[in-house]
Amino acid sequence: MPEFNYEIVKQVKTLSESNGYTTEVNLIKYGGGRTKLDIRKWNRNEDRMLKGITLTKQEGLDLLEALKELDFEEVE
């Protein structure tokens, strides 16, 4: 099995922090590939990534447009 590697190119924003876990938005490269937008939970005490989502540039732009149109008053 090939070794899993990643590089955090830029830490964009920490959205929340609780009990040693953070939810972060980062620009990240997996396996030396292209830089992608990554939103996920991290355990920084162990430098371990948890569940999250990785988006291409186009998916990130589409998400940005969708969020601009969202009425946040509907979010509880």
Domain boundaries, the chain: 6-69
Tokens of 5: 């590697």
Pairing of strands 48-55, 6-18: unpaired
- The confidence score (pLDDT) of residue 3 equals 78
- Model confidence pLDDT, tens digit, residues 34-73: 999 999 999 988 888 999 999 999 999 999 999 999 999 9
**For residue 1, is pLDDT > 80?**
no
pTM of the model: 0.85
| Cβ contact 13:25 at 8 Å | yes
- CATH class of domain segment(s) 6-69: mainly beta
* Residue with tokens 């899993």, as numbered in its chain: 4
Pairing of strands 48-55, 21-30: unpaired
Q: Which of 38, 35, 42 is nearest to 9 (CA)?
A: 35
Tokens of 34: 């292209």
